[in-house]
A and B are shown apart, each in its own frame.
Chain A
Amino acid sequence: MGRRVLITGLGTFWGGRVAKALEADPDVEVIVGVDTQAPKIRLERTEFVRADQSYSILARIVKATQVDTILHTFLVVDSTRMSGRSLHEINVIGTMNLLAAAGGAGSTVRQVVVKSSTLVYGSNYQDPVWFREETPRTRAPRTRVERSLLEVEDYLRDFAEDNPHVTVTLMRFSNVLGTDIVTPISKALQLPGGLTPCILGFDPRLQFLEEDDVVRSIEFTMREQVPGIYNVAGDGLLPWSEVAHVCGRRLIAMPPVLTGAAVRPLEWARMELPPELLDLLRYGRGADNRRLKRAGFRYRYTSAGAVESFAEASRLRATVGDSRPTYKYESDVEAFFRHSPAVVRQPTG
């Protein structure tokens, strides 16, 4: 019998991507996706259920679908996307409800995979160059997104302790770059005018992860059922100046004091630099990725490779325009293809 998987945040970039990858896996029997918004990419056999932000419906879904694996990809790590309140609602309350559902009486869940971020380490001048999974952060978290992710990790730790029969995998992803994803960093590298902000006198070393490796690593931890905490990040660190150079950008320096106020005008250009990114542009961050490698995962891209992949995609986009196909989810159409006896179903994969 194959795996029965529940994916949270199906409408987000990651949820959709992971679902698509799992559809090609014959060992995955059922994929159920939950989100507040409809999926943005075409999926063949994933079932979509609309839920509210805090996932109060989740316990019912888990019971009804008898899933054995939950992939929690719906943690918000980009604080420019929403207000602090909904961020808290989604990250903390959403995870609480999710874990309550997974640990409820008669639950069939045997593995929970959570997609967190290396933001939990912060970025500070007292930091070591490399954070191992157990290296403590050097300063108390100041930003809302960092605090919420740390709270989520605390809940997850309690959950793992209370439910020893469940494989709990916590993955901390580094900054992601790639062909499609849009993050504050990718926006900073695509600002009009060929200019990219940096902080005067600082050239931090950053680490990147290619979006392909994100999906592959989630699949990997699910397939191999590896428990524990894992940093997921490309090999090596690159100075921010080099990143900008690879992308063909010129750097424009922000003052090192009162930086927050100085970058405010950028918001008019729909470019927001959240405080956690300003810290990163000052001190950088490195996450030791060797534990996941020891578990057997092989990265396809290094940090430099991820930047290159992003640069190639943006050059292509600059020439031929945005050719990403737009897709609109229509529940009737999707239901027809999935459930109508008229459809002759071909095995995927």
Chain B
Amino acid sequence: MATGDRITQLRPGALVPVPRDAADEPLAAQRLSDVDEWGRSEHARALTRRLYDPMYRYWFRVEWDGMEKIPDVGGALLVSNHAGAIPSDAPAIMHGIETELGRPVYGLAEHLFKAVPIVGTAWARNGGVAAHPENAYRLLREQQQLALVFPEGTKATGKLYKDRYQLRRFGRGGFVEIAMRSGVPVIPIVVMGAEESMPIVARSNSLAKLLNVPYVPITANMLLFGPLGALLYFPSKFRIKVLDPVHFDVPSDQERYSRSRVMDEAESIRVRMQETLYDMLRNRKSIWFG
């Protein structure tokens, strides 16, 4: 105890103040890779863009309408319809926006992706993020990024060719709630052409249950090209239309939002997208040439 007292008394007169907190300066550290906290790497993405560009330009011949509605800065939740056994719409949307606006797009997808070796890592390096509300909030609210989400989920990609362009239920409207909480607009994007790039003619439910995956498809591509068909898309013409952004005049950062309001907003967005799709289909003369 005596020791303690002496120290306390000596302290004010000490010649050298003990610089305990002076060392608080954070030390800078070099990074070797450019993989960000979400797993996205701009290098990997640039390489993918270079490889994918011919496909985008000459295979699907993607045409955009209303790209200017996507902001250059600030967060926004992009919402799109989903199709194809291995969806071809997400890469096309992400590629288009990244090359046009020069800002990253994060694709929110099924968690299951992360559990698959190689695929999960490749997906993450190219901007894929598990669709967890916490992830979406951080991306949109705190980092003001663009996030792309497919509210229909696997219900859409697993649907048969005869159900093409029939939008499925938009989940439980979670995307609206996330946009409200993050204080960002929802920008609906309608894709036409993806349905025909890899149509599903049949499904095996028992095999899906066995493998513990959402669906096991038999696609027209597989029937034509054999196993190679899992990789080969049909060259359908893609048209992508951006609808007017939906702003919600509710305060952000609320614990929860009115369920009925959320469901109504989600349903009205779904209806708008469905009607736009019908409109576009009415004007489409050919699957292959638009």
Chain A interface (Cβ within 8 Å of chain B)?
A: 2, 24-30, 45, 125-130, 132, 135, 199-203, 205, 236-239, 241-242, 245-246, 256, 283, 286, 298-302, 304-305, 307-308, 345, 347-349
Contact = CB atoms under 8 A, between A and B. Distances in A.
B37 to A, nearest CB: 5
Interface of B: 1, 3-4, 6-8, 10-11, 18, 20, 23-33, 35, 37-39, 111-112, 114-121, 129-130, 132-135, 138
Contact of B18 (A24, A127, A283): A24
A26 B8 CA distance: 6
A308 B31 CA distance: 9
A286 B23 CA distance: 26
Q: Which 6 A-B pairs have the closest CB atoms?
A: A201-B117, A29-B4, A305-B29, A128-B134, A201-B118, A304-B29
Contacts of B116: 201
A242 B3 contact: no
Given A132-B134, A245-B32, A305-B28, 5 more contacts: A125-B112, A125-B120, A201-B117, A242-B35, A300-B24
Nearest to A338: B3
B39 A201 contact: no
Given A286-B37, A345-B3, A300 B23 contact: yes
A205 B39 contact: yes
Contact of B24 (A283, A298, A304): A298
A26 B24 contact: no
A347 B130 contact: no
B163 to A, nearest CB: 28
A128 B121 contact: no
Nearest to B35: A239
Contacts of A347: 3, 6-7, 10
Contact of B138 (A130, A199, A246): A130
Interface centre among A126, A129, A286, A304 (most CB of B within 10 A): A129
B32 A246 contact: yes
A348 B6 CA distance: 10
Contact of B27 (A126, A203, A301, A307): A301
Contact of A129 (B18, B27, B30, B135): B135
Contacts of A236: 37
B4 to A, nearest CB: 4
A260 B42 CA distance: 34
B138 to A, nearest CB: 6
B115 A125 contact: yes
A256 B116 CA distance: 9
A249 to B, nearest CB: 12
Interface centre among B7, B29, B32, B133 (most CB of A within 10 A): B29
A45 B7 CA distance: 13
A132 B25 CA distance: 25
A304 B27 CA distance: 10
A103 B2 CA distance: 29
Contacts of A302: 26-27, 29
B35 A129 contact: no
Contacts of A2: 4, 8
Nearest to A129: B135
Interface centre among B18, B27, B38, B132 (most CB of A within 10 A): B27
